[in-house]
């Protein structure tokens, strides 16, 4: 069974801090994704990666960056956290084909920026 592990379930940070959210998958998947989930807005794609050191902007990349130094790990970075980045963040991974393969999600990180 695919396991996608996010490093924290809950995280509280202050405005202006640099925040790192970590995600690890154990199925040798090529693709990894970061979403944020807000009520009424569904899952919005922030960034995705289809290979090590490769990254693509999603629909809402502003204020975020990502890092994929190893195949199994995909990090989301909030360069200077702001209160409007308070949200649930979900990581996902999939086998080859970013457009047409099922995604497997982690449990999410609920991030609060004070």
Partner 1 sequence: GENVEQHPSTLSVQEGDSAVIKCTYSDSASNYFPWYKQELGKRPQLIIDIRSNVGEKKDQRIAVTLNKTAKHFSLHITETQPEDSAVYFCAAPRRALTFGSGTRLQVQP
Q: Least CB distance from residue 40 to partner 1, whole Å? A: 6
In whole angstroms, what separates CA 84 from the centre of its chain? 16
Inter-residue contact 21 to 73 (CB < 8 Å): no
Q: Least CB distance from residue 44 to partner 1, whole Å? A: 8
CA 40 – CA 18 distance, rounded (Å): 27
Q: Least CB distance from residue 95 to partner 1, whole Å? A: 12
Interface contacts to partner 1, rule CB under 8 A = 31, 33, 35, 40-45, 48, 56, 58-59, 90, 98-108
Residue 47 or 81: which CB sits closer to partner 1?
47
Residue 81 or 94: which CB sits closer to partner 1?
94
Q: Least CB distance from residue 10 to partner 1, whole Å? A: 12
Please identify which residue in the block is written with the tokens 């649930």: 88
Residue 68 or 104: which CB sits closer to partner 1?
104
Q: Which residues of 1-39 are buried (b: 16+ CB within 10 A; e: fewer)?
A: eeebebeeeebebeeeeebebebbbeeebbbbbbbbeee
């Amino acid at each position: 069974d695919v396991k996608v592990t996010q490093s924290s379930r809950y995280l509280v940070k202050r405005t202006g801090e640099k925040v790192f959210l970590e995600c690890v998958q154990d199925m040798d998947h090529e693709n990894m994704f970061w979403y944020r989930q807000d009520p009424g807005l569904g899952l919005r794609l922030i960034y995705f990666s289809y290979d090590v050191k490769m990254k693509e902007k999603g629909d809402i990349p502003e204020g975020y960056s990502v890092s994929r130094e190893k195949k199994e790990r995909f990090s989301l970075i909030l360069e200077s956290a702001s209160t409007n980045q308070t949200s649930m963040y979900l990581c996902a991974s999939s086998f080859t084909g970013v457009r047409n393969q099922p995604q497997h999600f982690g449990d999410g990180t609920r991030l609060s920026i004070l």
